[in-house]
């Protein structure tokens, strides 16, 4: 029997990312777990949701560029740190070694195995958060996390954030092929009923 829990968000865990932006002329970073895929066609759009009080928001609004960096499990300490200290009080520009791609106002983190440069596409204001939609201009990945030229999540070993336990988690093993494993059930349903 299921128990009613109220209107809570049960979508956790979610990927943990580090968002980078230039704020007041300096690179700044914030850890965000409220990220989403808007579509998988061009333009490739993703969303990040930041509380309105965050320091990074002003830089994204002003420069219309930001980065989304995917840290591995090895970066759990640094990832948590840039999420618990505010750029209003702490200079986070020297926490990571940085590089830049096509967008000069989207600082990228060298230690993160996967980094995306985003151009601000749209902004939605909610009562508590700014929802930024970014167009992915370029994605950078370490060769060591690629399998046949594609990002391999098992090699990235990304951090997952769970609000229920307030912990970072790791991923497990693959359990089946997308658009494939369901064919087992489809094959059964496609069979005509026998007399």
Nearest Cα to Cα of residue 13 among 39, 35, 42, 41: 35
pLDDT for 184: 87
Distances (CA, A) of 153 to 14, 72, 123, 148, 150: 14, 10, 29, 13, 9
* Block mean pLDDT (10 aa), the chain, length 195: 92 96 98 95 96 97 98 97 96 97 98 98 97 98 98 97 95 91 82 60
pTM to 2 decimal places = 0.93
pLDDT for 93: 96
- What is the spatial distance between Cα 62 and Cα 71, in angstroms, rounded to a whole number? 25
Residue 181 main-chain phi, psi, to 5 deg: -60, -30
């Amino acid at each position: 029997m299921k128990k009613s829990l109220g209107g809570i968000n049960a979508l956790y865990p979610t990927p943990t990312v580090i968002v980078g932006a230039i704020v007041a002329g300096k690179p700044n970073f914030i850890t965000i777990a409220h990220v989403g895929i808007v579509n998988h066609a061009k333009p490739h759009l993703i969303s990040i949701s930041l509380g309105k009080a965050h320091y990074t928001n002003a830089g994204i609004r002003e420069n219309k560029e930001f980065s989304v960096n995917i840290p591995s499990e090895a970066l759990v300490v640094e990832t948590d740190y840039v999420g618990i200290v505010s750029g209003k009080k702490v200079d986070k520009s020297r926490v990571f070694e940085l590089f830049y791609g096509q967008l000069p106002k989207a600082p990228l983190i060298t230690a993160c195995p996967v980094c995306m440069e985003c151009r601000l596409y749209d902004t939605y204001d909610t009562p508590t958060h700014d929802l930024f939609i970014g167009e992915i201009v370029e994605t950078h990945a370490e060769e060591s996390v690629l399998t046949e030229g594609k990002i391999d999540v098992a090699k990235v070993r990304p951090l997952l954030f769970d609000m229920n336990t307030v912990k970072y988690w790791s991923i497990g093993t693959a359990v089946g092929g997308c658009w494939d494993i369901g064919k087992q059930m489809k094959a059964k349903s496609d069979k005509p009923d026998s007399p």
